[in-house]
């Protein structure tokens, strides 16, 4: 059956207004849900989410593609590749995040098309949410007014949408988008390949953690063969840091503490101001601490303007930092997760270290270091 026709306003007008007007936190009236897709009754979305998602995409005309706030390489690359898929299918797509694209990903093909906003507007036939383990993770108002498609690979992923595809074995959401592209019979262009390769490279920490299997490297090979330039992408992502990022790393390392297989370090608002750092400069700092040979888990704390602390957690082996983050209101992957805690710093440290110490002790009981 056909979809309900969209209302007369255009996505372009909404995006143009959001670009030209100052960002406002006010809540505007939103349209009623305009899509009530009637899926083939013989199709089970739970059993075959790819087919169900493609059915919605083929029946619709206009879509929004979103990901989580503070987008990383998987978020940006997946959004761009999904937008390219929709374009090949003859659809209209808007790409929206709550925060700006980090500088290291702005050279990806089409990155300039991603808009930042506080609220999503219609009309559209569905909103595709990529790499969001819950609805709040997107940081966007108005999402609940639309038909939602959730595509995620976090172990903390929740089936919050009308259609949910959660695959915790996928190395990145980009890998899942790649499967959709192939199932749709679309072409993996060099531009799409570059975006998808970025998702795999960054969400596995340069192929060093996460859901790594032989198929992960086979996918990377296919993407390179399709036109992704692995050297250029690595150069842009890992060897193009601004001076502020390096200075902020120095500030964090001045606060580094080590104890019984744990490493923790932090930066304050004063550190951020003194080094002229921005939010994206915090990315990757925790990995430096995890790289210490005797460390099984690491946490990086970044003070927020309101006095809270945003935590980045990393673990080795059986240290499941996602489970710890979930208990504290966050989420993520088994080896890479995050959460936000109330300050002051001493309080936040006491809370997270109390959670991490038993997990690290269990790790060393199972796998003693030489």
pLDDT tens, residue by residue, 261-284:
999 999 999 999 999 999 999 999
pLDDT over 90 percentage in the chain: 76
Name the band, by pLDDT with cuts 50, 70 and 90, for residue 126: very high
CATH architecture, domain 244-366: Roll (3.10)
CATH architecture, domain 11-236: Alpha-Beta Complex (3.90)
* 76: pLDDT strictly greater than 80: yes
User: Average pLDDT for residues 114-142, to the nearest whole number?
Assistant: 91
User: Average pLDDT for residues 335-357, to the nearest whole number?
Assistant: 96
Name the band, by pLDDT with cuts 50, 70 and 90, for residue 317: confident
> How is residue 307 written in tokens?
């006095």
Name the band, by pLDDT with cuts 50, 70 and 90, for residue 155: confident
**Helix (H) / strand (E) containing 320:** none
161-180 pLDDT, tens digit each: 999 999 999 999 999 999 99
Fold identical between 11-236 and 244-366? no
118: CB partners within 8 A, 6+ apart: 23, 24, 25, 98, 140, 141
* 42: pLDDT strictly greater than 80: no
61: CB partners within 8 A, 6+ apart: 3, 6, 91, 92, 125
Tokens 């969001």 -> residue? 132
| Collapsed DSSP state (helix, strand, coil) of residue 82 | helix
* 357: pLDDT strictly greater than 70: yes
- For position 212, what pLDDT does the model report? 87
- For the chain, the structural domain boundaries read 11-236, 244-366
Tokens 């208990």 -> residue? 327
């Amino acid at each position: 059956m056909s979809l309900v026709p969209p209302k007369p306003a255009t996505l372009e007008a909404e995006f143009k207004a959001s670009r030209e007007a100052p960002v406002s936190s006010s809540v505007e009236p939103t349209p009623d849900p305009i899509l009530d897709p009637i899926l083939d009754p013989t199709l089970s979305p739970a059993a075959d989410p790819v087919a169900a998602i493609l059915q919605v995409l083929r029946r619709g005309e206009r879509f929004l593609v979103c990901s989580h706030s503070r987008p990383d390489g998987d978020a940006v690359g997946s959004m761009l590749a999904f937008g390219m898929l929709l374009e090949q299918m003859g659809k209209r797509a808007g790409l929206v995040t709550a925060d700006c694209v980090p500088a290291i990903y702005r050279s990806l093909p089409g990155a300039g098309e991603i808009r930042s906003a506080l609220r999503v507007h219609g009309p559209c036939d569905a909103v595709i949410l990529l790499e969001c383990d819950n609805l709040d993770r997107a940081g966007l108002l108005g999402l609940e007014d639309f038909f939602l498609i959730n595509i995620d690979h976090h172990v903390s992923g929740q089936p919050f949408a009308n259609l949910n595809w959660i695959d915790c074995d996928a190395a990145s959401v980009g890998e899942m988008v790649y499967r959709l592209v192939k199932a749709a019979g679309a072409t993996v262009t060099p531009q799409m390949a570059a975006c998808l390769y970025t998702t795999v490279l960054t969400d596995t920490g340069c192929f060093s953690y996460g859901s790594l299997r032989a198929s992960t490297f086979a996918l990377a090979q296919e993407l390179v063969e399709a036109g992704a330039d692995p050297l250029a992408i690595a150069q842009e992502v890992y060897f193009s840091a601004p001076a502020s990022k390096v200075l902020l790393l120095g500030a964090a390392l001045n606060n580094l503490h080590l104890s019984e297989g744990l490493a923790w370090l932090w930066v304050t608002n004063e550190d951020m101001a003194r080094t002229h750092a921005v939010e994206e400069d915090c990315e990757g700092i925790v990995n430096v601490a995890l790289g210490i040979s005797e460390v099984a888990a690491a946490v990086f704390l970044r003070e927020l303007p309101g006095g809270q602390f945003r935590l980045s957690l990393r673990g080795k082996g059986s240290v499941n930092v996602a489970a710890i983050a979930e208990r504290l209101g966050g989420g993520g992957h088994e080896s890479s997760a995050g959460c936000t805690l109330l300050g002051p710093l001493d309080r936040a440290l006491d809370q997270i270290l109390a959670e991490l110490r038993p997990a690290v002790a269990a790790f060393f009981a199972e796998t003693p270091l030489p």
